[in-house]
């Protein structure tokens, strides 16, 4: 009788299975949320890169236009002086452009690495939560199976005892009937 009190009901098994399913759904939602954040972060980084590149191109065009106007308005002496300054300016501009490009490449590279690390960490967290959820589900299923096996074993034992009890009663009744018939036959002879 004590074993019967330790068993889980079908409703409790159902509740355990529902909890396991809910745990898996939470893990799935967490993974989806992380993926969306990573996509937004990457989109922002790409947008900043586009804006910076556009700004660099506009600045370069503007400086070139100013240089052309100056060259046209100066005399030959001024042209020579302007050529020197233009050459110097071009070198500085080239140097700054290369530096800017290098900075952009570095930012893109480090941003990409950072995004990869965050993505990997997110994947690892999702995998960990998924494994934990699967283990919880498996544990709960095993408990439910054990409970069902226990119920089946208890039911089988009760049926065996009932059948044996019925057989014993039928044999006793058959013996009594045979005894009564024997006594009647003896009395009738």
Per-residue pLDDT tens over the stretch 56-115:
888 888 888 876 776 566 657 666 776 788 888 889 989 998 998 998 899 989 989 999
Please state the pTM of the whole predicted model. Answer: 0.33
76-188 helix and 10-73 helix, angle to the nearest 10 degrees? 170
Token pair for 49: 């890169």
Per-residue pLDDT of 174-188, as tens digits, reads: 999 989 888 888 887
**What span, in angstroms and rounded, lies between the C-alpha atoms of 17 and 10?**
11
Residue 56 contacts residue 97 (beta carbons within 8 Å): yes
- How much is the mean pLDDT over the chain? 84
CB 100 within 8 A of CB 56: yes
Among residues of the chain, what percentage have pLDDT more than 70?
89
Q: What is the pLDDT of residue 172?
A: 93
């Amino acid at each position: 009788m004590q074993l019967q009190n330790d068993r889980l009901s079908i409703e409790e098994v159902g509740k355990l299975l529902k909890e396991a399913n809910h745990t898996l759904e939470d893990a799935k939602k967490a993974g989806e949320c992380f993926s969306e954040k990573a996509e937004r972060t990457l989109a922002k980084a790409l947008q900043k890169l586009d804006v910076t590149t556009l700004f660099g191109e506009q600045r370069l065009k503007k400086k070139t236009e100013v240089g052309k106007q100056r060259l046209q308005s100066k005399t030959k002496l001024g042209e020579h002086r302007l050529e020197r300054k233009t050459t110097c300016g071009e070198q500085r501009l080239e140097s700054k452009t290369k530096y800017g490009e290098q900075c952009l490449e570095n930012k893109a590279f480090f941003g990409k690495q950072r995004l990869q690390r965050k993505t990997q960490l997110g994947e690892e967290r999702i995998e960990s939560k998924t494994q934990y959820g699967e283990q919880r589900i498996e544990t709960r299923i095993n408990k439910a199976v054990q409970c069902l096996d226990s119920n089946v074993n208890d039911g089988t034992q009760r049926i065996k005892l009932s059948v044996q009890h019925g057989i014993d009663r039928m044999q006793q009744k058959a013996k009594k009937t045979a005894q009564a018939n024997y006594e009647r036959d003896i009395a009738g002879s």
